[in-house]
């Protein structure tokens, strides 16, 4: 007796499913979910964390992979950069985020592949409409000369000419640096606490004294960022309970020899004693047990990824991502979604969020008479350009070079 009824019910269910598919599929209607992240097109939910890999490669940057940089965006509006390695600036720009929001940078150690694009984001940011100071957190070193504060002082000196061209010429509020150096040997010490977000630092073992890893906690979510380190007891103890744990996962020594031309002994030293091999990475993650383990810091290609994954799998069988630039992780308490970004290569900086203020022209540095003597003003060409703008906007700008 039941069979015909079940058949009818089943048939009706099939028909309604087909009707539903027909209603959502159409040659003129967009397919709603294509598993691609388009920067600047999605709201963040109030309880959501979005992590974007902006640099996952090596010191020798290449079109496919910049050096270390990770963006963390929170549903409370805060955004954090962890490391700011060479080549990452263009990836950061591709996120279509106003530069005023990108003013908190945490540097795990002072290798160029972890801070190489800092000058570009700092000074380039001043002409790309950042009108707030750039805030930088970084570790002390074994001596004051090896610490972050000293490095930032010298960076300012190194870019004296660049700063000189802008002082008194543009609104230079974004050129101010707010540097927070903290003790490299602090264990799980709070180095940032604002707006419900806590960032802690733990020591790392890499290069010299003065390398650290970071732990960000907000709204019950925990993100751990390894910068560079070999396996260490602090990471394993304090990364526990992480929703997302990022840790370097270097190329195996075999590939360092065959693809990168390292001598065998050099490959072993670099690949296991200065950095973390895939097998060591897997061991770390099997002890930390994060909801998602992310390995990075290797040339991630069709032929290297399977080898790195196979070796990491010898020591770890939990959730794993081997990061590429533009990989995006949306994290909530219930879900971690992994996608790749689609990039608009013609992205422009967003308009300023604050009203620009006129600079104090008295602090501008003048050209010498010598340089001025070489300038050709071409007033017959330039004056009409000034007239065009002055007429359109009601301004009274005048060229500097009149002859
Ligand atoms: Zn390093
Ligand atoms: Zn590195």
Residue 67 Cα to ligand 2 middle (Å): 7
The whole-number pLDDT of residue 8 equals 54
| pTM beyond cutoff 0.75 | yes
- Predicted confidence (pLDDT) per residue in 64-104, tens digit: 999 999 999 999 999 999 999 999 999 999 999 999 999 99
- 188 CA → ligand 2 middle, Å: 22
* Cβ atoms of 327 and 246 closer than 8 Å: no
> Are 78 and 166 contained in the same domain?
yes
Cα separation of 33 and 30, whole Å? 9
Q: Compute, in angstroms, the gap from residue 107 CA to the centroid of ligand 2.
A: 11
Continuous segment of H or E residues that includes residue 84: none
Domain around 308: 36-341
Do both 173 and 308 map to the same domain?
Answer: yes
> Is 386 found in the same domain as 312?
no
Of the spans 17-21, 168-172, 307-311, 397-401, which averages the highest pLDDT? 307-311
Mean pLDDT of 245-269: 97
DSSP assignment letter at 68? S
Query: Which residue in 75, 68, 38, 36 sits closest to 53, CA to CA?
Result: 68
Q: Is residue 155 part of a domain?
A: yes
Per mean pLDDT, which range of 11-15, 37-41, 77-81, 367-371 is the poorest?
11-15
Q: What's residue 168's pLDDT?
A: 87
Measured from the Cβ of residue 103, the count of other Cβ atoms closer than 10 Å reads 20
Q: Compute the distance from residue 383 Cα to the ligand 2 centre, in Å.
A: 51
Residues 302 and 385 in one domain: no
Structural domain includes residue 352: no
Instruction: Please give the DSSP secondary-structure letter assigned to residue 365.
Output: P
User: Quick check: 307 and 47 in contact, CB under 8 A?
Assistant: no
Distance 151 CA to ligand 2 centre (A): 17
Do 375 and 282 reside in the same domain of the chain? Answer: no
**Which pLDDT does position 329 carry in this prediction?**
98
Separation between Cα atoms, residue 197 and residue 350, nearest integer Å? 26
Residue with the bigger pLDDT between 27 and 388: it is 388
CA 301 to centroid of ligand 2, rounded, Å: 18
Looking at all shown ligands, the one closest to residue 211's CA atom is 1
Q: 114 CA to middle of ligand 1, Å? A: 7
For residue 8, being part of any structural domain is answered with no
Look at residue 34 in the predicted model and tell me its pLDDT: 73
Q: Which ligand is nearest to the CA of 67?
A: 2
| Ligand closest to CA 66 | 2
Residues 98 and 53 both lie in one domain: yes
Q: Does position 391 have pLDDT exceeding 80, yes or no?
A: yes
Q: Is residue 168 part of a domain?
A: yes
The Å distance, Cα 396 to ligand 2 centre, comes to 51
Give the number of whichever ligand sits closest to the CA of residue 57. 2
Contacts of 85 (CB under 8 A, 6+ apart): 55, 61, 66, 67, 68, 69, 112, 113, 114, 115, 116, 117
> Ligand 1 centroid vs 355 CA: distance in angstroms?
39
pLDDT at 210: 98
User: Ligand 2 centroid to 308 CA: how many Å?
Assistant: 17
The pLDDT-based confidence of 164 (bands split at 50, 70, 90) is very high
DSSP state letter for 152:
H
Q: Are residues 58 and 163 in the same domain?
A: yes
The average pLDDT across 316-327 equals 98
Helices (H) and strands (E) in the chain, counts: 13, 16
The b-or-e profile of 165-199 (16+ CB within 10 A means b, else e) is ebbeeebbbbbeeebebbebbbeeeebbeeeebeb
Between the CA of 137 and the centroid of ligand 1 the distance, in Å, is: 17
Instruction: Please check whether residues 329 and 382 belong to one and the same domain.
Output: no
Residue 12 to residue 21: CA distance in whole angstroms: 14
Q: Relative to the alpha carbon of 60, which ligand is closest?
A: 2
Ligand 1 centroid to 113 CA: how many Å?
7
Instruction: Specify whether 43 is located in the same domain as 140.
Output: yes
Percent of the chain with pLDDT over 90: 87
Number of domains making up the chain: 2
CA of 295 to the centre of ligand 2 (A): 13
Instruction: Identify whether residues 168 and 258 lie together within a single domain.
Output: yes
Query: Does 9 map to a domain?
Result: no
Mean pLDDT of the chain: 94
Per-residue pLDDT reduced to its tens digit, 298-321:
999 999 999 999 999 999 999 999
Q: Are residues 288 and 372 in the same domain?
A: no
């Amino acid at each position: 007796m039941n069979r015909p009824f079940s058949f009818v019910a089943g048939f009706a269910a099939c028909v309604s499913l087909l009707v539903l598919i027909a209603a959502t599929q159409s040659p003129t209607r967009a397919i709603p979910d294509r598993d691609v992240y388009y920067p600047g097109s999605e709201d963040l939910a109030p309880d959501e964390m979005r992590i974007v890999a902006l640099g996952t490669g090596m010191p020798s940057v290449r079109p496919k992979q910049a050096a270390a940089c990770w963006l963390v965006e929170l549903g409370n509006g805060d955004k954090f950069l962890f490391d700011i390695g060479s080549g990452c600036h263009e990836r950061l720009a591709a996120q279509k985020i106003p530069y005023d929001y990108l003013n908190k940078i945490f540097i795990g150690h002072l290798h160029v592949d972890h801070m190489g694009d800092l000058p570009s984001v700092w000074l380039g940011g001043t002409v790309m409409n950042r009108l707030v100071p750039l805030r930088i957190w970084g570790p002390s070193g074994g001596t004051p000369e090896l610490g972050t504060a000293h490095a930032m002082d010298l960076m300012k000196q190194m870019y004296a000419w660049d700063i000189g061209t802008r002082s008194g010429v543009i609104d230079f509020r974004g050129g101010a640096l707010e540097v927070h150096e903290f003790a490299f040997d602090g264990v799980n010490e709070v180095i940032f606490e604002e707006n419900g977000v806590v960032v802690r630092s733990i020591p790392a073992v890499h290069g010299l004294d003065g390398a650290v890893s970071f732990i960000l906690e907000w709204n019950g979510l925990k993100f751990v960022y390894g910068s560079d380190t070999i396996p260490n007891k602090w990471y394993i103890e304090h990364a526990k309970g992480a929703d997302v744990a990022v840790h370097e996962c270097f190329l195996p020594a075999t590939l360092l020899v065959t693809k990168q031309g390292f001598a065998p002994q050099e490959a072993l030293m670099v690949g296991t004693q200065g950095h973390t091999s895939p097998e060591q990475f897997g061991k770390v993650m099997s002890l930390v047990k994060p909801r998602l383990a992310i390995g990075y810091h290797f040339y991630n290609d069709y032929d290297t990824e399977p080898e790195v994954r196979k070796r990491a799998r010898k020591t770890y069988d939990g959730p794993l991502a081997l990061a590429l630039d533009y990989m995006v992780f949306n994290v909530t308490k219930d879900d971690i979604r992994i996608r790749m970004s689609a990039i608009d290569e013609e992205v422009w900086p967003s308009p300023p969020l604050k009203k620009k203020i006129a600079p104090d022209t008295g602090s501008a540095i003048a050209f010498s008479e010598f340089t001025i003597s070489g300038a050709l003003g071409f007033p017959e060409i330039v004056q009409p350009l000034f007239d065009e703008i002055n007429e359109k906007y009601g301004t009274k700008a005048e060229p500097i070079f009149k002859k």
